[in-house]
Structure 1
Amino acid sequence: MNRLLLPSLFLLLLFFTGCQRLILGEDEANDPENNFEIFWKDFDRHYGLFTVRGWDWDSIYAEFRPQVTAQTTDEELFEVYRQMVEYLDDSHTFVYWPGRDFFSGNSEDDERTEAEFSLPLILDQHLEVIDSSSEEGYVYGQLRGRNVGYLYLAGIEMEDLSFGDKLLTDLGQNDALIIDLRNNSGGDDGVGAALAGRFADRTELIYTVQERNGPEHDDFAGKTEYYLRPQGTVQYDKPVIVLTDNITVSAAEVMLIYLNALPQVTQIGTATSGDFSDTGMRRFLPNGMQYQYSIMKFLLPDGTSLDGVGHVPDIEIRNSAADIDAGNDLVLERAFRFLLEEYGIE
């Protein structure tokens, strides 16, 4: 495996290790039609992003309910669930048939995007490693022949929130830093906030979160506010490049809300996944199938939502699998060119 942590693997790990679970319809009839009704109604009453993403869940009922009868097989029913989840296009929302199948909202694009990045290529061709942890999913060091530091994060999982202090002690002398969030499967929003705080010189409201709390699609609890704040023993105010792709997801995207508010940060690559919300409890249907879904919305201070859109890069560029196979990371090379052209940094 040539990546520290794949998004699909992370989702499965999250799914199996989550301690919260809700068994739906323990006393319900285990037949295809009732299983469908429970599934659709549960989403209808609790999924958090219908209004944000503009989805018409009633139309999904009208399309798929006639396809489910008393004779519908489990295979056919799972395929119906898969298409319903696919409609939501939300990687935090997935359906699982134990021992048989698993599907998350945008998983079909993941394999292609995974092939467009290779950490071994960067290690072989560009990086003198200073520190790394396969367990916590990071590696950082000095880019060969350049006054530029490099940090790759496969997830936002560092247990020690002072990680950013050590990073800047080791790399802060550089004229620029590259933070690579490609193929990043997310993790802990608080860790991302602590790391982003090492690049901040002010305190400001950065986003709000609301959890769905009622039967109507627009029923939400009050806003919880999150602030960008300087953190750590030293701040880094020189140019920072953040590299992203379509499976930069979840806590990585939340960290990028903080970073993209800073004037010295430039995002290069492709738009991120656009999936910010935490999930609710794991749900168990009478037929043994399981699922989870997003339960909240993230809003920027002006009320804008990035769900379903993601962070759009300042400079858009994408590798192909053929580029990587040929030993060329065009995204990283574009970052080098930007630093030279804009700042004279080599």
Structure 2
Amino acid sequence: MKLSNILSRSILLPLLILVCGAGCVREDEYQNDLAGNFDALWQCMDRNYCFFNYKREVYGLDWDSVYAVYRPRINNQMTQQQFFEVCCDMLGELRDGHVNLYSSGDVGRNWSWREDYPANFNDSVHQLYLGTDYKIASGLKYRILEDNIAYVYYESFSSAIGDGNITAMMTELKTCNGMILDVRNNSGGNLTYATKLSGYFTNEKRLAGYIAHKNGPGHSDFSTPEPEYIEPANGLRWQKPVVVLTNRSCYSSTNTFVRNMKVCPQVTIMGDRTGGGSGMPFTSEMPNGWLVRFSACPMYDADMQQIEFGIEPDIPVSMNLEDLKKNKDTLIEAARSFLTQKFAE
């Protein structure tokens, strides 16, 4: 788990604090020393983290073995920073971008979901497509490209959007032959905005996926998965082909947005696999006052398949170096060609 003094706002969902009760680690159960805090942290995750069984299947995660490896590293001669690093290393075994440890001076995190993969995005080239005269509807930036294709960029679901913003944008773009909805590098934010936006691309209620809730301390203790639907928005909705552009930096609520869009008609997902992040995060407090955030509620797609490690695109496309040299974005150009062909059919 890599450390930084900079807390990245873009990947953090609002923190839900666990109230002491079933499954929550009470401060008085553990001594407020290094050993007690480590045990409290391990036990909190053991009781509440939601992907132990899945990650055992995927890469052999054994949480008891993790304890056996890291617990002997704790000793009374350690500094607080050294203790923090051991705790972060232990949490890093979960390979989860929604797992963070917050001390007064640092935030531990695992960003391997995007750092270990090609970016498939270039800021400078992307800005050439947007230009300087694009329109802004709150968090949405948009323009009409030369081939009458609508281009919409949504940088972060932390940026608010309302029905008025989306309707105004749809009205402006309604004569276009198709739409590119680019959510590359959008690493999450408010799930409400993701759900709202996807409702403008369907004319009927659609099953998008499922969510379950932890209901006991065991690794398999979950409620019956509940269906999650997207409802058609009121008023003007998009009726033409859409390409959603993705890369590995599509995380958390953006991952859920892509899940939702996959069940909408005339929507094609293009680009790279998303970064994942399907566990709804909660937080709990350690005896020393540090906070730990973790995935507590697993979310699935409409086929009850896990999306924690990302969603594959319908059409894989990667950045081409020769295109970059020509100031071309391979993914945008592929989407333009695809939509132009669709319009001609």
What's the TM-score once normalised by structure 2's chain length? Answer: 0.84
Tell me how far 1:187 sits from its aligned partner. Answer: 2.1
Distance 1:190 1:41 in 2: 31
Q: Deviations over 1:103-132 (max 9, x none)?
A: 22225844976x653455333345574522
Partner of 1:257: 259
Closer, same or farther: CA 325–41 of 1 in aligned 2, 3 Å = farther
Partner of 2:242: 240
Partner of 1:75: 81
1:170-249 mapped onto 2 (5 Å cutoff): 170-249=172-251
Distance 2:243 2:253 in 1: 18
Pair 1:123 & 2:127 matched:
yes
Distance 1:322 1:70 in 2: 56
Q: Deviations over 1:265-323 (max 9, x none)?
A: 11111111110222113x33234433211110112333211112x11112223338997
Residues 280, 299 of structure 2: 8 Å contact kept: no
Closer, same or farther: CA 258–7 of 1 in aligned 2, 3 Å = farther
Q: Deviations over 1:302-345 (max 9, x none)?
A: 3211112x111122233389976873322212222333445449
Identity of aligned residues (%): 28
Partner of 1:331: 331
Long gaps (5+) in structure 2: 1-5
Q: CA RMSD in A?
A: 3.0
Distance 2:44 2:322 in 1: 43
Residue type of the alignment partner of 2:328: N
Partner of 2:3: none
Residue type of the alignment partner of 1:83: D
Residues 22, 284 of structure 1: 8 Å contact kept: no
Residue type of the alignment partner of 1:289: W
What's the TM-score once normalised by structure 1's chain length? Answer: 0.84
Q: Deviations over 1:234-293 (max 9, x none)?
A: 222211011111111111111112211124111111111110222113x33234433211
Tell me how far 1:219 sits from its aligned partner. Answer: 0.9
Question: 2:136 is paired with a residue of what secondary structure?
Answer: strand
Residue type of the alignment partner of 2:313: P
Residues 97, 113 of structure 2: 8 Å contact kept: no
Residues 254, 276 of structure 1: 8 Å contact kept: yes
Q: Deviations over 1:156-187 (max 9, x none)?
A: 23242343222210112111100000110222
Tell me how far 1:96 sits from its aligned partner. Answer: 2.3
Task: Choose the corresponding residue for 1:90, options 96, 113, 120.
Answer: 96
Partner of 1:3: none
Partner of 1:102: 107
Partner of 1:35: 37
Distance 1:202 1:108 in 2: 33
Residues 52, 297 of structure 1: 8 Å contact kept: no
Q: Deviations over 1:170-226 (max 9, x none)?
A: 112111100000110222222222211211122232211111121101111343322
